């Protein structure tokens, strides 16, 4: 399991929809530090990529959520890229 720093807005939406989101181990004003296994990481990243698409966000009228989803996807991807170097 690995800990990731992700924005609260998208993470809260994700877990409210009863999707796997791991365990929050630390909270700041704008972020959670969440412990995710590989399956939870894949699910959160997949969801973030879907909602982070600008066209999807525009169609759903959720530009704030879409922006937070893009930030979540970047955080999960960047950390993962460093982990596999």
Question: Which pLDDT band holds residue 33 (cuts at 50, 70, 90)?
Answer: very high
> Cβ of 41: how many Cβ atoms within 10 Å?
19
Per-residue pLDDT tens digits for 47-77: 999 999 887 777 777 778 899 999 999 999 9
pLDDT, position 23: 97
Q: How many domains does the chain have?
A: 1
Q: What is the pTM of this model?
A: 0.86
Domain boundaries, position 63: 2-83
d(CA 40, CA 63): 24
């Amino acid at each position: 399991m690995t800990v990731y720093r992700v924005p609260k807005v998208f993470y809260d939406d994700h877990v409210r929809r009863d999707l796997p989101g791991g365990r929050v181990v630390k909270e700041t004003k704008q972020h959670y530090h969440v412990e995710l296994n590989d399956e939870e990481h894949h699910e959160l990243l997949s969801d973030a990529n879907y909602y982070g698409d600008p066209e999807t966000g525009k169609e759903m009228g959720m530009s704030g959520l879409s922006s937070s989803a893009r930030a979540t996807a970047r955080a999960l991807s960047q950390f993962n890229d460093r982990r596999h170097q």
